[in-house]
Chains A and B, each alone.
Chain A
Amino acid sequence: MAEVKKNEEPRIGVFVCHCGTNIAGSVNIQEVKDYAASLPNVVVSNDYQYMCSTPGQNMIVEAIKEHNLSGVVVAACSPRLHEPTFRNATKTGGLNPFRFEMANIREQNSWVHMHQPEEATKKAKDAIRIAVAKASLLQDLHPKSVPVEKAAMVVGAGVGGMQAALDLANAGIKTYLVEKTPTIGGRMSQLDKTFPTLDCSQCILTPKMVDVYRNENIELLTYTEVEGVEGYIGNFDVTLRKKARGVLTPDEAEARGIVGGGCNGCGDCVDVCPVIKPNPFELGMAPRKAIYIYHPQVVPLIYTIDFDSCVKCGLCVDACGDKKAIDLEMQDELMTVKVGTVILATGYDIFPIEKKPEWGYKNYDNVITSLEFERLICASGPTGGKLIRPSDGATPKRVGFVLCAGSRDNTGVGRPYCSRFCCMYSLKHAHQIIEKIPGAVPYIFYMDIRSFGKMYEEFYYRIQDEGAKFIRGRVANILEDPETKNLYIKAEDTLLGRPVDVEVDMVVLAAAVQPSAETERTRRLFGVSCSQDGWLLEAHPKLNPCGTTTAGVYLAGVCQGPKDIPDTVAQAEGAASAASIPIHKGAVELEPYFAQCIEEKCAGCGLCVNLCPYQALSLVEKNGRKVMQVTEAKCKGCGTCGGFCPGGAIWMQHFATPQIIAQIDAFLLGGEE
């Protein structure tokens, strides 16, 4: 059974890293190294400039052989960074890789005590003593290899999610693309033109939407939400809620024995539906019926009934006739799919800019957001592409643009970060009004113009040349003339150093973006962390920008932080590549931090069975009495059971009670006086 082998005499090697001057700048390496050599069980202590370099790792390999080590301690950076590196070196030296322990003397020492060399040195000695105590009790462990389901899931079908799904599918992987709205396309399908190329957004997006729809490896699940997640990398069981759409696809109709039936997108139902509601796709600026599609290019072209507003009059059923596509009694359906890896691409929402009352959004008719502007200038939008001001339908000649509306805002009301694409789309908006409305003048109120992308700066110059007026200054407030409904923008021109007051016909707020409403719920289901402002947290900002701390879950697009379309698509392709690796490998290794039952001590009380969040523990009969048994494949190694067992009968591999107690004792009882 799992117990420390008492007869084994531990032989520990300690290796102290200088990390250039990162550690050596505040920790006295020589002193620490000599101290380590004096510790019980330590048979060799050495130091090197960069332990993670090839010569540094070789030093470990050689020492294991030369000194017949039973354990290795490296005092360097965080185990979250280099534990895998040194475990490998330990393995190369012929030891089990889990006989390695790391003392973090950089992130949690030299870098945070830069001006206290004496204390930092003392703390490094303590950290090594603690690590040696644990290393002396470490055991051989063997990761469990589990097969990976040859299927993936992408949550969110905006441009990022679609790209990720296409890449996975084209790499031969069955991919479930889950989208909560009735159509794929996401935010990009609401945009008119894209900067700096001025491509028509729909024109470049629609072919991709069709590709997704046609791809044999993609199972498109629109109007569907994630309801629950169980399992781990390679074996996620995801429960999905297919919301009742009230309309059958041709396939669903066929399954019900209706030959040649199902929705063909004719729209006859819409004509007869008596209920009128605002269309969320048009941000409420156009109506829709209770049975609706968002816009003519939706994929799939299947109507949806909004059961919250449907009065069940049945007129649509009659209009549909023989196709029998409409089922007013349809219920939500739950389904579970098994996938190996998951990509989250849950996108963004617009910050509720009415929270900044000084700009008068929702108070003054002619103050709109940029997304509303996109719909108003778009040929397929509610006005057929004719820009009008909401108060009187007139064509605006003077349009004010307020940049950083709610972004880069440290007042606590807005968002502290830069939303990253507002400068560029505002320049594009300025271009569009100059192009469409003869004599129109855009006034752009900005803090800085951030035009960092490829061909972005050039686009900025172009808009300057076209005659847009740029005023550097944050807009203090906006007032409305109640008669004319014209607006007065008050700001300080910080280049001229004087206040300005500009009369305009209409104001467009480049409102900040924030994580979409579902992001929080979704991330909790998948166990993904977020940063303080709610964006999903990548495993490493530079070296692992698509991964998360949950193995097998990856990120694409704005859900990880504001980014424009090129960056979103690039990250989506990165995430797809990362998510395909375990699937193509066919198996993954799970860290062997499983719970084990020490049967002699187990009283069979079963307390642990209920504590386990993963149903990994059960009670079984053995030799006439009840003992706990662990299903290793289900155990994730949290140790919640081990923290509670009243009899101390649970052995948490690699974090066993004697190992942790040894660490505590080593710190408190083992130090120099």
Chain B
Amino acid sequence: MADENWEPKIVAIICNWCSYAGADLAGGARIQYPPDVRAIRVMCTGRIDPLFILKAFQDGADGVLVSGCHFGDCHYLEGNYKAAKRMFLLKTVLKNIGLDDRRLRMTFVSASEGAKWAKVIEDVVNTIRDLGPSPLREFAR
């Protein structure tokens, strides 16, 4: 069903202290990566209500990336642990509603890992391109 001009729409919700800073570092180093991801900044991945992710899929997102600090490095001690648990549960929910759970991904990228950020984006975009458009796209809007 993938139409010719399909371009993936991927939302990244990322924490201010690690992944957002890591993404900025990739920029400073001019590391090139695919342009298909739009980032929304929150202070900590702990802020991420599962509702945000479900809303993104409902709106037709082809993929959602959640990225925060490494375990033990969260600026607020343990927000990322809580986020990781939520994402884990959410993946089950996605499967139950018929979405491939690879469309949701959680990664840990520190403020010094610019190259890793670029790699993560590449991986995520490749995964989503392989999976094709979200089956929910046609119901969006």
- Name A's B-contacting residues (CB within 8 A): 78-81, 104, 106-109, 111-116, 119-120, 122-123, 126-127, 130, 524, 527, 529-532, 537, 549-550, 593, 611, 613-614, 636-640, 642-644, 648, 652, 655, 657, 660-661, 663-665, 667-669
Contact = CB atoms under 8 A, between A and B. Distances in A.
Nearest to A111: B27
Contacts of B27: 78, 106-109, 111-112
Given A107-B26, A643-B46, A668-B59, 18 more contacts: A106-B27, A116-B35, A119-B35, A130-B40, A639-B43, A639-B44, A642-B47, A643-B82, A648-B51, A655-B47, A657-B51, A657-B52, A660-B13, A660-B49, A661-B52, A664-B56, A668-B140, A669-B59
B76 A613 contact: yes
B61 interface: yes
12 contacts: A112-B32, A112-B118, A115-B32, A127-B38, A524-B73, A643-B46, A644-B49, A648-B51, A655-B43, A663-B40, A668-B11, A669-B141
Contacts of B83: 643
B35 A655 contact: no
A107 B47 contact: no
Contacts of B16: 80
Nearest to A671: B9
Contacts of A116: 35
Contacts of B86: 643-644
Contacts of B11: 664, 667-668
A210 B67 CA distance: 49
Interface residues of B, number: 54
A472 B126 CA distance: 46
Given A126-B38, A613-B77, A667-B11, A111 B18 contact: no
A111 B28 contact: yes
Nearest to A642: B47
A643 B48 contact: yes
A25 to B, nearest CB: 11
A529 B79 CA distance: 15
B124 interface: no
Contacts of B40: 130, 660, 663-664, 667
Contacts of A126: 38
Contacts of A663: 40
B33 A112 contact: yes
B63 to A, nearest CB: 11
Contacts of B49: 642-644, 657, 660
B108 interface: no
B61 to A, nearest CB: 6
B76 A640 contact: yes
B32 to A, nearest CB: 6
Contacts of A112: 26-27, 30-33, 35, 118
A32 to B, nearest CB: 14
Contact of A639 (B46, B55, B118): B46
| Residue of A106, A122, A529 with most chain B CB atoms under a 10 A cut-off | A529
Given A524-B72, A668-B61, A669-B59, A639 B30 contact: no
A114 B33 CA distance: 10
